[in-house]
Amino acid sequence: MILTMLNGYPDYIGYRQAFAGYGSGPASYSQTTGDVVTLSNNRRFIDVIQGWQLSQSGTYYVRPWLQVTGERQTWTLLWYVTATNAQVANGVNLSAETVQLFGTCGQF
């Protein structure tokens, strides 16, 4: 998922930047890799994504996941079915689902 920034973001907080943006799910979800999140400007790296978010339809929610702690790591979204709290099955098309996320980022 490549996040499209909302108007006014990113915004500086000291040396870091707050971001708010939205993106669509993958065409074929993988439980192994999840949905890798990147920002629209590839010079920025994500420090943290805040909280769980409900998709616009309400059918799914996402949970941010960081496999390894430290600077400039890759953030992933794990998608879950709201009604059952089960992770979305492999191969499900989530491209029609949109989520909005908030977090902080830095710049190379």
| DSSP one-letter string for 57-91 | TSSEEEEEEESS-STTPPEEEEEEETTT-PBPPTT
Whether the upstream peptide bond of residue 64 has omega within 30° of 0, thus cis, is no
Q: Structural domain boundaries of the chain?
A: 2-107
Categorize the per-residue pLDDT at 2 as very low, low, confident or very high, splitting at 50, 70 and 90: confident
Percent of the chain's residues with pLDDT above 70: 99
From residue 45, alpha-carbon distances to 18, 91, 95 in Å are 11, 28, 23
Note the pLDDT of residue 46.
Answer: 92
Ramachandran angles phi, psi of 100, nearest 5°: -115, 130
- CA torsion sign for 64, 65, 70, 73 is negative
pTM above 0.75, yes or no: yes
